[in-house]
Amino acid sequence: MTIAALIDGGGSKTRVRLIHFETGSIIGETVSGPGNLGLGAGAVYASINNACNILQCSRPDRIIAGLAGTEYAFERDQFLTLSSCPTQLISDRDSGLLGAHGGCVGGCLTVGTGVVLSWLDHDGKINRRGGFGFVLGDQGGGAWIGLRVLQQLLKLADRSAWQASHYAVVEEMKIGSAREDFIVFAHTASPADFALLAQIVCGQSILGNQFARDLLDEGVSYLVEILDELPQGLPIALVGGLATVYTPKLHQLGFNVTEPKGNALDGLALIGSYRVQASVDIWTNYE
């Protein structure tokens, strides 16, 4: 029986699910390191191989991957070239969208390390907004929140204006409290490292920290801006590590946020079984 690996790769982690390709039955699922092609195809495969080792699978017979960073044409081609089995590659934006609505009409806002909006319209066309990466965009995402908290803290430190809410965040970050500590961290940190700081901001927000709440409200304002691109009437599902943080906030603002029917791995299963009636960009290493 053919063993297929469904791979959902993002800026902070890679989820791998092994299935029996013919039946779709799940063999196992685990999480590994970052899976963004912007880090290089080799780095993505390192995360995939680690996950397969955890699942005690030496090599799958087929790969169906939805990865961040498919805009990197060279690394995209390298990913397909390095694969030793038949491989289908799509953007993680599309796999998340297809999984969220079971391949049906609707929108999907991915809010993890980065941010991207995609939607499937009634004509079977997939539309996309955002997803420009940490340097050029991703406002409201985990990496952006991590950057913003450091920017704000450093600005206030320069004026000796830290208050209790700021000290609470600094203490939990554990990167030091001197301005030099912030500078060193920021110049060596990856998007995934910044996204870890976002978890602290979210936790402090739950505890009532106003500084943290203000940062998340700023993130909401950017999400509202990108959601204004979504055609009226389409349901919107939030997926990604920050989905549970932002969903109630967008509900309060009147957005038609629905519970996802599935995740990106489920979307990849639809791609692998050819049960998608949508204009999805698919790259393969076979004809």
For residue 44, give the CATH number of its domain: 3.30.420.40
Structural domain for 35, as ranges: 3-101+263-284
More confident call, 178 vs 148 = 148
Give the pLDDT of residue 227: 92
Q: Are 148 and 198 in contact (CB under 8 A)?
A: no
Mean pLDDT, residues 18-31: 88
Model confidence at 133, pLDDT cuts 50, 70, 90, reads: confident
Q: Are 131 and 119 in contact (CB under 8 A)?
A: no
The residues, any chain, with a CB within 8 Å of residue 53's CB and separated by 6 or more, are: none
Rounded Cα distance, 201 and 117, in Å = 23
Backbone torsions φ then ψ of 88, nearest 5 degrees? -115, 135
The token pair at 215 is 């940062």
More confident call, 58 vs 46 = 46
Q: Are residues 89 and 141 in the same domain?
A: no
What average pLDDT does the structure give for the chain?
Answer: 89
Nearest CA among 170, 94, 159 for reference residue 128: 94
Q: How many CA atoms lie within 13 A of 199 on its CB side?
A: 11
Q: Are residues 87 and 175 in the same domain?
A: no
Q: Are residues 66 and 29 in the same domain?
A: yes
Tally of domains in the chain = 2
Rounded Cα distance, 32 and 140, in Å = 24
Q: Are residues 115 and 77 in the same domain?
A: no
Nearest CA among 157, 159, 149 for reference residue 204: 149
pLDDT tens figures, 140-161: 999 999 999 999 999 998 888 8
DSSP category for residue 16: E
pLDDT tens figures, 256-281: 888 889 889 999 998 877 666 667 88
Q: Are residues 277 and 216 in the same domain?
A: no
Mean pLDDT, residues 1-26: 87
Nearest-5° Cα angle at 169, 167 to 171: 65
Beta-strand runs (E) in 123-206: 126-130
Q: Are residues 158 and 205 in the same domain?
A: yes
Give the pLDDT of residue 278: 65
Q: Are residues 191 and 91 in the same domain?
A: no
